[in-house]
A and B are shown apart, each in its own frame.
Chain A
């Protein structure tokens, strides 16, 4: 089974801190994604990457950046954490089409910014 591992299950950070969320997958997936999930708003795409050193903005990239130095690792960075970034963060990965098997999600990181 593909495993997508997120480094922290729960995280509490202070306003203004720089926050790193790590995601590692073990199945050579080219595509990786970062979402946040909030009640009533569903899953919103922050950033995604089709391959190493490639990144694309999603629907809500403001206040975030990403890094993909190795194929298996995709990091989300909150440059200066704010309370409105309190959320559940989900990492996902998949093969590129036509190997169309959908996403595999990590277990999520629930981030609280105080």
Chain B
């Protein structure tokens, strides 16, 4: 079992709809969770971080964390073509400074 798992996609969503991206992790000691967006040929950029159970909203983005079920999700409301990218889930485990990444979900927003 991979430490951090994401569906590779591609995930296609109509413009204006909600895009839902999911991530599961295996280490119950995981403490910190991050979502990165990566455009083709570019480096990842941090868009959301979440540390406690529940929802965290930032503009059109909402991160959701459920530690009991060991999953974290990212919702993108009112999806725009500019949201088309690969989204990487990353987890930091207790006692560990490095992040462990999923392989990413490719999201395409259809105009």
Contacts and interface: CB of A to CB of B under 8 A. Distances in A.
Given A42-B103, A100-B51, A101-B49, A106 B97 contact: no
A16 interface: no
B31 A105 contact: no
A8 to B, nearest CB: 14
Indicate the size class of the contact surface on chain A: 20 to 34
Interface in A78-114: 90, 94, 96-97, 100-108
Contacts, number: 54
Interface string B30-64: 01101010000011111001010000000000000
Where chain A touches its partner, the secondary structure class is loop
Given A43-B88, A96-B97, A100-B92, A105 B44 contact: yes
B46 A104 contact: yes
Contacts of A58: 98
B63 to A, nearest CB: 12
Contact of B97 (A31, A41, A90, A107): A31
B45 A105 contact: yes
Nearest to A107: B43
Contact of A45 (B31, B46, B98): B98
A41 B88 CA distance: 12
